[in-house]
Amino acid sequence: MKILHLNFSDTNGGAARAAHRLHIALIENGVKSELLVCEKQRSEKNVIGPKSFFSKFWLQFRVELMTKLFSLGKGPVYRSLAILPSRWVKFINESDVDLVHLHWINGEMLSVKDISRIQKPIVWTLHDMWGFCGAEHVSWDDRWKNGYNINNRPVHESGFDLNRWTWLRKIKYWKKPIQIITPSNWLTKCVKQSKLMQNWPCETIPNTIDTKFWKQVDKNFSRRDLNLPKNAKVLELGFGGAELAGDLQMSGNTLLSADTNGNIILDPNGTGQVQIEADRVVIKTTKTATGVGNTGDVAGSISWDATNLYVCTANYDGSTVIWKKLVLQGI
């Protein structure tokens, strides 16, 4: 069997890392696998991306055009219209692959209509909520459960309803159910509650993780590498892909000990200013957080090895990888 994975990038973001890890794991187990991306940074021969300067420029131009034209990158929720046709469909249909595995195919990699034009068997791993929502990648209302109509639009939204328009295009073109995979029970539950995909086949399969790399090691080694005191209690804060709504306060009694004096706070993403008070830890928001998936594996492994307790402040988590890493490292 030959499998073709599709993801916008081969390195940037948690979905890219998850897709690449699965791609490598399949190859190591004797399965023919290729990874097709718009943004290629790896030199591996089985990772396929645009080659010519014009192709790279055009792909980047598509992303910038849609982002600026519809202000998709503004506000608390990132949105994707998936409207521009792609040359990748012709490439896929003329290839010799037996199975197409879609991952994060936004950034105008594939349009809504393109997905319906793929003539190969498809499985689709969802890394966020976009597949069954409108244009948004995460939703805090119930439109994705009940359907996007003119009467249930949030009161804070105005202008043309991009979310409803995108959702209606999905209804129009996605007539044939696709096998859905999600990496967490939470996301599988969302799929089964959604108006769009509730009758589609869906399974939970956790993301691939290399247990030879992610394993428990001597904390003293990592602490020496990070210049941390040997006997200090270390709390690491993992800010997910969402901005903190306000200052975060955590009780020292609950988290580490009755006294927080002498404890050290690790904040590798640099998104918060930490203050240690007599009975609590206070994190002051300083800037928008970056996604956990963008943290490098080596840097993340060393910092987690040195940690006593990890706190994730994300409002939602579409992936179980970070939790498996922490368990494997004994956090």
Domain identity same for 77 and 39: yes
Predicted confidence at residue 246, as pLDDT, reads 40
15 within domain boundaries: yes
297 within domain boundaries: yes
How remote is the C-alpha of 11 from its chain's centroid? 12
Domain identity same for 197 and 233: no
Predicted confidence at residue 14, as pLDDT, reads 83
**What's the average model confidence in pLDDT over 218-235?**
72
Predicted confidence at residue 55, as pLDDT, reads 77
Q: Which residues lie closer than 8 Å to 239 by C-beta, 6 or more apart?
A: 269, 271, 272, 289, 290, 292, 313, 314
> Within 13 Å, how many C-alpha atoms sit on residue 137's CB side?
23
Domain identity same for 54 and 196: yes
Partnered with residue 102 across adjacent β-strands are 6, 124
Q: What is the DSSP letter of 291?
A: P
211 within domain boundaries: no
Which tens digits make up the pLDDT trace of 128-178? 999 999 999 989 899 999 999 999 999 888 888 999 999 999 999 999 999
Segments of the chain assigned E as strands: 2-6, 32-36, 47-48, 99-102, 122-125, 179-182, 202-204, 234-238, 248-251, 264-266, 272-276, 280-285, 309-312
Query: pLDDT confidence of 63, banded at 50, 70, 90?
Result: confident
> Nearest CA to 310 among 286, 331, 290, 289?
331
Query: pLDDT confidence of 71, banded at 50, 70, 90?
Result: low
The residue among 163, 179, 204 that closes a domain is 204
Domain identity same for 27 and 158: yes
Domain identity same for 233 and 185: no
Domain identity same for 223 and 298: yes
Distance in angstroms (rounded) separating the CA atoms of residues 68 and 253? 47
Which tens digits make up the pLDDT trace of 9-46? 999 888 998 999 999 999 999 999 999 999 998 999 99
Q: Decide if 115 contacts 173 (C-beta within 8 A).
A: yes
How remote is the C-alpha of 305 from its chain's centroid? 23
Distance in angstroms (rounded) separating the CA atoms of residues 260 and 253? 8
Query: pLDDT confidence of 225, banded at 50, 70, 90?
Result: confident
199 within domain boundaries: yes
More confident residue, 39 or 316: 39
212 within domain boundaries: no
Query: pLDDT confidence of 255, banded at 50, 70, 90?
Result: very low
| Cα angle 102-313-180, degrees, rounded to a multiple of 5 | 20
**What's the average model confidence in pLDDT over 75-79?**
70
Q: Is the pLDDT of residue 243 over 50?
A: no
Domain identity same for 102 and 154: yes
Domain identity same for 158 and 264: no
Q: Is the pLDDT of residue 119 over 90?
A: yes
Domain identity same for 185 and 237: no
Q: Decide if 232 contacts 263 (C-beta within 8 A).
A: yes
Tell me how many domains the chain contains.
2
Distance in angstroms (rounded) separating the CA atoms of residues 46 and 73? 31
Place of tokens 């309803």: 161
More confident residue, 208 or 199: 199
Q: Is the pLDDT of residue 239 over 90?
A: no
Domain identity same for 141 and 31: yes
Q: What is the DSSP letter of 34?
A: E
243 within domain boundaries: yes
The residue among 176, 204, 232 that closes a domain is 204
Percentages helix, strand, coil for the chain (3-state, rounded to 5) are: 30, 20, 50
Give, in order, the Cα–Cα distances in Å from 154 to each of 133, 150, 158, 170, 331.
Answer: 14, 10, 9, 20, 40
283: its two tokens: 């994190």
Domain identity same for 151 and 240: no
**Residue 313, domain extent:** 219-328
Partnered with residue 79 across adjacent β-strands are 136
Q: Decide if 141 contacts 190 (C-beta within 8 A).
A: no
Q: Which residues lie closer than 8 Å to 214 by C-beta, 6 or more apart?
A: 301, 324, 325, 328, 329
Per-range mean pLDDT, top range of 17-26, 63-72, 308-317 = 17-26
Which class for 285: exposed (0-12), middle (13-18), buried (19 or more C-beta within 10 A)?
A: middle
Query: Residue 68's domain is classified under what CATH number?
Result: 3.40.50
